[in-house]
Amino acid sequence: MRIFDPHVHMTSRTTDDYERMYAAGVRAIVEPAFWLGQPRTNVGSFLDYFDALLGWEPYRAAQYGIRHHCTLALNPKEANDPRCLGVLEELPRYLLKDSVVAVGETGYDSMTQEEERVFEAQLALAEEHGLPVLVHTPHRDKAAGTRRTLDVVKGIDPGKVLVDHLNELTVGMVHEAGCWMGFSIYPDTKMDPDRMVAILKEYGTERMIVNSAADWGRSDVLKTREVGEAMLAAGFTDDDVDQVLWRNPVAFYGQSGRLVLDDVESGGDYEGNTILRGTR
Amino acid sequence: MTWLARAVADVERDPETVHALFPRAARDGGPGARVELLRALAKAGPEPAEAVTRLYWQGDASERLDILRALPDLDLGPAALPLVHDALRTNDTRLVAAALGPYGSAWLDDHAFRQGVLKCVFMSVPLASVEGLDRRFDEELRRMLADFAAERRAAGRPVPPDVLERL
């Protein structure tokens, strides 16, 4: 089973997780920029974080045979702090980078006007840079937030929008809108593997994307694999599993023209680097 | 006209354009494109060292690596040394190895060069990749490697053969 985890915050995880992910079949991941639990108070703090997502973290992932790409944005939560708004001025130069495959996470958290302004500005940046968009939906008042999200993205090709953190109550409207549908599988909140399988039975496997969204909270990087196993147990084919866990996220992020997977698919070294030996 | 030829012409005409072109040069212009842009910049710019420095600070790991590798061809004198020091502070073996290429070997002072070599040993970067090691090898570096070997032996761990060769 080859797995592409399209949303996982590896900055918050240990190398043990990278080892377990590789053993479970994870060969590629996308790490969206998000908040770090502790609110940031200045732009420089974001820039160092973005630089880590473009430097140290892909390097770390490569040590464990996993290809790392990222999405960059000012996240909805911190969009409410005026001290962080300067991030929007720095984003254009970051969106040029090779391993940036979308703008995100952007969207609503508390559904404020500030969040909406930042959301709209970042949708425009995505269009300018020819990038798809990863849209976060709020955890509180989710159905209303998802509806409002779909209104905001209406002018954009729905094929370039992935609306994330969906559940039974929000999947229908996103399916109808024609956007990609993202599901975060968590140990006890958001979605679980059996409920995910039920949604796949009802809506099919097209435009369906499953992620672990693992971060610094209670979460599990192997939830993608669990969904694959639950799908097989429920009668889905290997090809269905491959579509949901590999081909769909590759098709979505591939629209950036910047997804590079040949090195992981051939099992070669990262950037032809063969100087690694021994302990880190 | 290819993407690269256009980009080089743009940089020759207006060096400031390099900041938008360089990050996308590898995917739009091919494998050697970044080096071509750096060469054009070094010739065209009024302050090439400043421009290269800004590209480095705003670069991702792969851009920084290409800049470090191109430094010997850019004729910047010691002005790019802060970039080499930055690369030596990272924990990325590719950047550390590139920092000890021909440019670093030519300009790093003895203390920084020795620390860089020892860092390579710690990071398992082969000493064969360190440019000019024979020329710059001195008694102090030999002592540092000998102390490293003693520490390894005390811990019951093997001493890399390329370190043993130098003792």
**Concatenated DSSP letters for chain B?**
--HHHHHHHHHHH-GGGHHHHGGGHHHHH-TTHHHHHHHHHHHH-SSHHHHHHHHHHT--HHHHHHHHHHGGGT--GGGGHHHHHHHHHSS-HHHHHHHTSHHHHHHS-HHHHHHHHHHHHHTT--GGGSTTHHHH--HHHHHHHHHHHHHHHHTT-PPPHHHHTT-
Q: Which pLDDT value is given to residue A270?
A: 43
Number of domains forming the structure of chain B:
1
Residue A267 has pLDDT above 60, yes or no: no
Strand, coil or helix: A14: coil
How many angstroms separate the Cα of A180 from the Cα of each of A160, A192, A238, A252, B38? 8, 19, 21, 8, 40
Number of Cβ within 10 Å of residue A154's Cβ equals: 10
Q: Which pLDDT value is given to residue A265?
A: 58
Q: Provide the chain A residues 99-128 that lie in CB contact (below 8 A) with chain B.
A: 99
Per-residue pLDDT tens digits for B34-90: 999 999 999 997 899 999 999 999 999 999 999 999 999 999 999 999 999 999 999
Question: What is the least distance, in Å, from the CA of A59 to any CA of chain B?
Answer: 7
Q: Do B124 and A279 touch (CB under 8 A)?
A: yes
Q: Considering CB atoms only, which of B20, B61, B65 is closest to A54?
A: B61
One-letter amino acid at A137 equals T
B19 within a domain of the structure (yes/no): no
Question: How many whole angstroms separate alpha carbon A108 and alpha carbon A148?
Answer: 9
Q: Tell me the pLDDT band of A191, cut-offs 50, 70 and 90.
A: confident
Q: Which pLDDT value is given to residue B1?
A: 86
Q: Which chain B residue lies closest to A277 (C-alpha atoms)? A: B124
Residue A275 has pLDDT above 50, yes or no: no
Domains defined along chain A, listed by start: 3-270 (3.20.20.140)
Q: Which pLDDT value is given to residue A188?
A: 82
Whether the CB of A257 is below 8 Å from some CB of chain B: the reply is yes
Range of the domain at B51: 47-134
Q: Which chain A residue lies closest to B31 (C-alpha atoms)? A: A271
B21 within a domain of the structure (yes/no): no
| Pair of tokens at residue A19 | 């080892």
| Pair of tokens at residue A187 | 């140990």
- Chain B residues whose beta carbon lies within 8 Å of the beta carbon of residue A55: 60-61, 64, 90, 92
Mean pLDDT of A59-71: 97
Instruction: Please check whether residue A149 is in contact with residue A179, taking contact to mean a CB–CB distance below 8 angstroms.
Output: no
| Pair of tokens at residue A256 | 């950036």
Instruction: Please check whether residue B110 is in contact with residue B99, taking contact to mean a CB–CB distance below 8 angstroms.
Output: no
Q: Which pLDDT value is given to residue A151?
A: 97
Question: What is the least distance, in Å, from the CA of A17 to any CA of chain B?
Answer: 20
Question: How many whole angstroms separate alpha carbon B62 and alpha carbon A70?
Answer: 15
| Pair of tokens at residue A128 | 């300018």
Question: How many whole angstroms separate alpha carbon B24 and alpha carbon B30?
Answer: 10
Strand, coil or helix: A63: helix
Residue A209 has pLDDT above 90, yes or no: yes
Q: Do A98 and B125 touch (CB under 8 A)?
A: no
Residue A279 has pLDDT above 50, yes or no: no
Q: Which pLDDT value is given to residue B93?
A: 97
Single pTM value for the model: 0.94
Per-residue pLDDT tens digits for B110-162: 999 999 999 999 999 999 999 999 999 999 999 999 999 999 999 999 999 99
Q: Which pLDDT value is given to residue A274?
A: 35
Per-residue pLDDT tens digits for A118-165: 999 999 999 999 999 999 999 999 999 999 999 999 999 999 999 999
Among A15, A70, A97, A128, which would you mutate to test the B interface (most chain B Cβ atoms within 10 Å of its Cβ)?
Answer: A97
Whether the CB of A256 is below 8 Å from some CB of chain B: the reply is no
B83 within a domain of the structure (yes/no): yes
Q: Which pLDDT value is given to residue A263?
A: 66
Mean pLDDT of B92-108: 98
Q: Which chain A residue lies closest to B62 (C-alpha atoms)? A: A55
Q: Tell me the pLDDT band of A276, cut-offs 50, 70 and 90.
A: very low
B103 within a domain of the structure (yes/no): yes
Compute the mean pLDDT over every residue in chain A, rounded to the nearest whole number. 93
Q: Do A59 and B61 touch (CB under 8 A)?
A: yes
H or E stretch covering A224: helix A223-233
Q: Considering CB atoms only, which of B23, B91, B124 is closest to A276?
A: B124
